């Protein structure tokens, strides 16, 4: 007599005692097991839901790290009239094959002409572009607040490199835990 154990309606495991003439369990004292997966479409649909949820979790984790970098960059960006600071953006995640990208930066909305020069400009006036020195542009940059200045985006990106992977991993792990509880 076969015994069937099932803790999920889609998976069953059957133990079959010795049965002369069968290919498995054909010898006295042997036992065979048959594994069967029913409702494969339902299983695939559930796996697709899990994959979609996981993709959302990992994209959100990357976006969170990008947002933390932007928060720090916002503290470091020099402010004259606030146009450059207000141009800071973190774009939504974009999936390209096996890659998820989050882009962040400064320079839209009126700041495009000086986002890069301010980012790359050291505080020492000797290194100002000639156009700034002779073309009526600023002859010096007055970073109005301590801690602001050039490399306002590069600095936070470099600082985040050592912790970003761990932060993404922790966010993904927490998301999977929430998914398992749902």
pLDDT digits (tens, 9 = 90+) for 50-94: 788 888 888 999 999 999 999 999 999 888 788 889 999 999 999
C-alpha dist (Å) from residue 8 to 4, 35, 39, 40, 180: 12, 13, 11, 13, 16
pLDDT band at 157 (very low <50, low <70, confident <90, very high): very high
Q: How far, in Å, CA of 77 to CA of 132, rounded?
A: 19
Q: What is this structure's pTM? A: 0.67
pLDDT in tens, 7-43: 444 444 555 555 566 665 555 555 655 666 677 777 7
Domain boundaries, the chain: 1-38, 52-181
Q: How far, in Å, CA of 19 to CA of 129, rounded?
A: 90
């Amino acid at each position: 007599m076969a015994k069937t154990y099932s803790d999920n309606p889609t998976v069953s495991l059957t133990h079959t005692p010795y049965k002369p003439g069968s290919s498995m369990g054909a010898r006295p004292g042997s036992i065979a097991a048959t594994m069967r997966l029913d409702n494969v479409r339902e299983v695939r649909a559930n796996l697709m839901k899990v994959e979609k949820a996981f993709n959302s979790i990992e994209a959100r984790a990357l976006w969170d790290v990008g947002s933390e970098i932007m928060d720090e960059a916002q503290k470091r960006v020099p402010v004259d009239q606030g146009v450059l600071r207000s141009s800071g953006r973190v774009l939504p995640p974009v999936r390209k094959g096996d890659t998820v990208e989050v882009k962040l930066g400064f320079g839209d909305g009126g700041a495009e002409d000086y986002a890069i020069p301010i980012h790359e400009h050291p505080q020492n006036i000797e290194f100002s572009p000639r156009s700034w020195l002779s073309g009526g542009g600023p002859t010096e940059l007055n970073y109005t607040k301590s801690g602001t200045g050039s490399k306002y985006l590069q600095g936070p990106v470099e600082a985040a490199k050592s912790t970003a992977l761990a932060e993404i991993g922790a966010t993904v792990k927490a998301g999977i835990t929430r998914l398992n509880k749902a």
